[in-house]
Each structure stands twice: as structure tokens, then as C-alpha cells.
Amino acid sequence: MDRETAKRLIDKLTQEINKHNFDYYSLSVPTISDYDFDMLLEELVRLEKEFPELALADSPTKRVGGEVTKSFRQIVHKNPMLSLSNTYSEEEVEEFDQRVRKLLGGEDFEYVCELKYDGLAIGLTYKDGMLLHAVTRGDGEKGDDVTTNVKTIKSVPMRLFGGDFPEEFEIRGEIVMPRAEFERLNEERADIGEAPFANPRNAASGSLKMQDSAEVAKRALDCYLYHMIGDKLPFGNHYENLMKTRDWGFKIPIYMVKCKSSQDIFGFIHEWNEAREKLPFDIDGIVIKVNSFEQQRKLGFTAKSPRWAIAYKFKAERVSTKLISIVYQVGRTGAVTPVANLEPVQLAGTTVKRATLHNADQIGRLDIREGDRVFVEKGGEIIPKIVDVDASSRTMFSEPLRYITHCPECGTELVRKDGEAIHYCPNENGCPPQIKGKIEHFISRKAMNIDSLGEGKVEILFDKGLVKNVADIYDLSYESMIGLEKEYVPESGEKVRVVKFREKTVENILKGVEDSKKVPFERVLFALGIRYVGETIAKKLATHFKNIDELEKADFDELKEAEEIGEMIAGAVRGYFNNVENLGIIVGLKEKGLQFSIDESAYEKLSDKLEGKTFVVSGVFSKPREEIKEMIALHGGKNSGSISSKTSFVLAGENMGPEKRKKAQQLNIPVISEDEFFRMLE
């Protein structure tokens, strides 16, 4: 076959198979038998092998996976992926309706009610009709690029039909795992001795983050889309735009209606609260949105969520069972969590044997005792928790529970700080679960990403005395690890030893350790596990102080000058650097070559126009707030999260908090508008 003929055939087969995929997976109306479909796909695979340079970007052969992603790059959302305000109360839905009516000043409007899918939020960007990238929600400002894995989801089009779509736009939705696939997957995991997934949401999330896209393709994930963003959209409202995208090949849910009143909304809520078990996937509530884009703009946003939408969440299922015993777990921060061991009971589709009791206050409030009949719910349908006790079923021998006073792992006396509900073990560098927890956090994907050290290997290395803190990871050698075993005691009672550190495993660990020396400063800072310093805060501190030495020297007030750093975080950071053992660990990590300063070339300034000036940015702007803050930094200025005498300007957008405005006036700090700010840069 000549090249030109092959090209025509490949183009024709690609278009035909993509259309059959859409008919089957999005419309549920197959127009061809499975056998005939397989024959078409087989022919396309054969042609692409013979003429690989002719394979199209949207070839359906890419849906079977095969690409391996060792780490997911981060992509900044063009428009932040904000979460919705949640409510479990119909009264609050009524209040939301009244607020909307008041803010719209009597204008006629309508709502769109949709199902709230219990999965993983995703943003799909298309350019010239082709899938450009697929990004998870992440922290709302940036997420993981999971395009390779999303391409394996057959209901997600890689090339759009027709030609009347915008040049570039984003469509957002939820990736879910159907219940039937969830049950099949858990049966398969049980057969090979792996722990089952807790629920379809966790299974969907875990599947989408797998490194091998061929494995993702086996998981039969699905995607429902519910929000479109972009310039020059076909219509000026949410509902019609979504209906239009069906013509382009998108799987738009049929479970949505337009409503005019709160009574219409409640009718939809009640209908699906009763019918949700009949759906092939999990939902956990209903989303209510104002339909008109113009009215959405008028209503605007709070700092965290839109004012034109709200999520009503269904109340969790509740069951009764017996509390057998209470044990205490110690986390990596030293937090002690009481956990209830229960008589097994079915709850929301899973067998529950354990439930969290949170803290001593909850135990005291419930007056919970071993042997009680208790009522268990799943908070957000995920984590089982005890919400009530049937005191009438107690025996005369029942005794109040006494909360432990010493750490169950190392025996250190527990402490409880004023204003906090949690008890802590203060022995942070000598308590085994805290040490292991810190090491596991240090090697995690979002921190140092030494993934080859997972799967219980940290525990083996700790038990063998090879790692006593995170710095010891960099002293590991081939000789010290090769042949290390894990001891198991199965139900038979006979000890079994399994070699966990074979040649390839050890080589991967050593490579992962060496590669981690290139991880940037903000992730190293996050990896240290300082209390309250998550991913976002670590980046703020790294950007503000530039290196670990400046951060270590900063006093309490200087720490608070950094953006989003309040008293609690400043106190935790100061406490970490006041600990001599922590300073010793940092010295050890420095000697091993880890990155303890930011790469200045990544923050190359555009000018010095704002040099020496500190800004507090508050309110809603024409651009995303993070973009405004980035412009301040690029022109030499500093961002701060709180107003103080050192603040040069308060940059005020719409709906700036009255307290901040009042404080600025008290300190005679100039309050400038967005236009005035841009004039400063001219």
C-alpha cells in the first residue's frame, strides 16, 4: 500500500472509530457490533504500525494507554477552580435564594439544578478542536497535568465534531468510577491480596494518578461535564452552552433541570435523594447555579467560592453497632487520635469496622464507653465517625472512659495546648510513629518524590536502625539494604519472611534518593514536615525568604510579614527552628546537597518600580488575585497577608473586607484601586 492511500485510510478509520466511541460511551446508542468495532480498531493499529508517522493526535489507539508518567507536571489554572459553598440544610438553600434575589434587585432569573458527582474534579482545555490538556483541581490555583491518563477515558473526546466551537475554551467536570467497575476492581484486588479501595471516589482518584496509562485504561473511568469557560461562547447562559457541547462530542449529563423558585429546587433535591441509589455512579448532593452569565458576573465571588452557586449535600447514612474497644493512634505531628473498634456493620456500601472519635472533647460530649451501642455515619460519605450513643442499652457495670495521659507508643506524658482539642506527644524526635510518619511524608510525591521507598519499606529500614530521621535516607547504600526482609504472621500463626529489598528495588531507591537532590526549595521546605506548613504555605515562605538561612533567622514578627502567615503558622515555624535536633537534621541535609534556596532565575524581575514597597491585596479583581500578586513580585515589590505599619499600599478590589479597610485608615496606609496600581507600573 502506498503512503497516500494509507493516509486516507488512517484518517477515515480514525474519524469513524471516534464517532462509534461517542455513540457508545457518551450517547449509549451503539451503531455497530463489538466484533465489527474491534475489526476496525485492529485495522487502524496495523496501519499505524506500518506508517507510524501518519498516526493522528486523536487516534483511538491512544486510548489503550502505554505512556508512563513518572511525575505529573503542574499547570496553573487560567481561571481558579474554586470550590462551592456547601450546606446540608434546606433553610440555607432558601437563604441563598433570598440573597440572590436581593443582589439581583428584582431581575427575572432562573437556576440550573444538577447532580453533585462524587469523583475527581477535572478541567479539559481544547484548542482548535483538539484536547490540549487535562488538569486536576489541585489547590484551586494549579493542578496536575493528567492528560495522558485522561485520554484513556473513552467518553472524553480528543477531537471535537463540527466546527462551530470556540478557538480555545475549557470545560470542567468530574471523573468518576462507576459502581460496577468499583466492585469488579475490588474483587480483583482481593484475589491478588491487595487492600480494597474504600469507595469509588478514592478509586477514581488513585486510578487517575497511576504512572502507567495502560493500567488507567483498564479501570473504565467515566467523565461527566458541567461547566464551560472561555471567550466567544455560543450562548450567554450556562444551560444552553452545555446543551450545545453535546453536538461537539461531550458527555453532558441528562440529570439537570431549569428552576424558577426554591420550591422547584427542593422538588429536584427530594427526587434525587430518593433515586440516587439507582444511578450507576455515586453522587453526594445537588448543585444549584444561576443560569445567566451576566447575572453570575453581577453576583461575583467571595474569596473561596462563587456567590451564584451553592451545593446542597445529602445527609449521611446512619447505622447502629457495638463499640468493642478504643485504641489510640499517633500521627507524624504527634497528634493522638482515638479510634473505635466496632462490630462490623454495612454503611454506604462498605463494611465498617473502625471509626474515628476525633479527640477527648468528643468522647466527653458523647459520654462514650466501651460496650456501648453507637450510631455511625460517614462524614462526607468517606470517613466513618461515631455521632451518638444509645445510653439506654448500657449495663449497670458500664464505666466512664478515661482518656490516656501518656503516649501509647513511647510513654511520654501527653500535652494539650490552650484552645486546641487534640492531645499531642511532644517527643517528636523519639516517638517511633512520629519519626516514621515524618520520613513517609518527606519521601511522598508532593515532597521529595522518592516513590520507590514506599510500600512499607520505611518501616523496615526504621526497625533495622538504618534510618532514624530524614537525613539518614541519604546515607543508605546498596550493601546496607540488599536482602532486607519483612516478617509476617498470617492467620496460620507461622512466621513468614519475605525479601522486600531485591537488586532492582535497591537500585530504584538509590536513584530516587539521588534524583531528590534536585527537588526545588519550596518542596524541600514542605517535606520537612513543619506543623501547619503545607504545600501552599511552604511556597509562600520560600518565595518571601528566598533561602533556609533567612527563614531560620526570622523572628515571630518577621515571619508574619510573609503572605498568609498568621500567628499559628509563625509560632510553629519558630518552634521548629528553635529545636536543636531539627537544626542538626537540616545541616545533614545541606551536606547531602539538597536545595535550600530558590532558583532566582525562575523569579527574574521585570523592573524595580515597586522595590522596597509592601502590598496587601484584598478583594476581587479583573484578573485572578494570584496574577496580581505575581506582578507585584516581578516588579520588585513584596506581598504581605496582613496590614501593619510596614505596609506601603493596600490594593483594594471589589468587596474588600471592611476590617482591612478600617485598619488601613487607622495606620494611614494608602488604599489604591486596581487602575491606580497599573498606572504605577506604566
Contacting residues for 560 by C-beta, under 8 A, at least 6 apart: 566, 567, 570, 642, 644
pLDDT of residue 99: 92
Please tell me the CATH code under which domain 75-90+105-311 is placed: 3.30.470.30
pTM: 0.51
pLDDT of residue 305: 84
| 511 carries an active-site annotation | no
CB 159 within 8 A of CB 212: no
pLDDT of residue 381: 45
Domain covering 3-64, topology: Helix Hairpins (1.10.287)
pLDDT at 477 over 90: yes
Q: Which of 54-68, 83-97, 311-325 has the lowest mean pLDDT?
A: 54-68
- Judged on CB neighbours under 10 Å (0-12, 13-18, 19+), 404 is middle
The tens digit of pLDDT for each residue in 517-555 reads 999 999 999 999 998 888 878 988 998 899 999 999 999
pLDDT at 301 over 50: yes
pLDDT of residue 633: 83
pLDDT of residue 493: 65
CATH class of 521-602: mainly alpha
Q: What percent of the chain clears pLDDT 90, i.e. is strictly above it?
A: 42
Q: Which CATH number fits domain 318-421: 3.40.50.620, 2.40.50.140, 3.30.70.150, 3.10.20.740?
A: 2.40.50.140
pLDDT of residue 30: 67
Q: CA-to-CA distance for 311 and 314, rounded, in angstroms?
A: 10
Residue type, 4: E
Architecture of domain 432-518: Orthogonal Bundle (1.10)
54 DSSP 8-state letter: G
Grid cell listed for 454: 514506599
pLDDT of residue 455: 65
659 in helix, strand or coil?
helix
pLDDT at 467 over 90: yes
CB 132 within 8 A of CB 125: yes
Residue 3 phi/psi, 5-degree rounding, is: -60, -40
Given 62, 116, 313, 560, which residue is catalytic?
116
Nearest residue to 240 (alpha-carbon basis) of 255, 264, 258: 258
Q: CA-to-CA distance for 497 and 503, rounded, in angstroms?
A: 17
Q: Where are the domains of the chain?
A: 3-64, 75-90+105-311, 318-421, 432-518, 521-602, 605-681
pLDDT of residue 380: 46
For domain 605-681, the CATH superfamily is BRCT domain (3.40.50.10190)
The tens digit of pLDDT for each residue in 353-376 reads 998 888 888 888 889 999 999 998
pLDDT of residue 84: 87
pLDDT of residue 318: 81
Higher pLDDT, 323 or 29: 323
Number of H helices, E strands in the chain: 24, 23
pLDDT of residue 94: 94
Gap between the terminal Cα atoms of the chain: 62
Contacting residues for 618 by C-beta, under 8 A, at least 6 apart: 650, 651, 652, 653, 656, 657, 660
CA distances, 571 to each of 531, 551, 553 (Å): 10, 13, 13
The tens digit of pLDDT for each residue in 580-606 reads 999 999 999 999 999 999 876 655 678
Q: Which of 60-69, 230-239, 515-524, 580-589 has the lowest mean pLDDT?
A: 60-69
Phi-psi sector, 636: left (phi>0), alpha (psi -120 to 50), beta: left
Most confident of the following: 32-36, 133-137, 299-303, 414-418: 133-137
Query: Residue range 16-22: average pLDDT?
Result: 79
- Domain 432-518 matches domain 521-602 at the CATH topology level: yes
* pLDDT tier, 650 (very low <50, low <70, confident <90, very high otherwise): very high
617 in helix, strand or coil?
strand
Q: Which of 4-13, 352-361, 657-666 has the lowest mean pLDDT?
A: 657-666
H or E element that contains 186: helix 179-191
Q: How many CB atoms lie within 10 A of CB 388?
A: 15
pLDDT of residue 395: 82
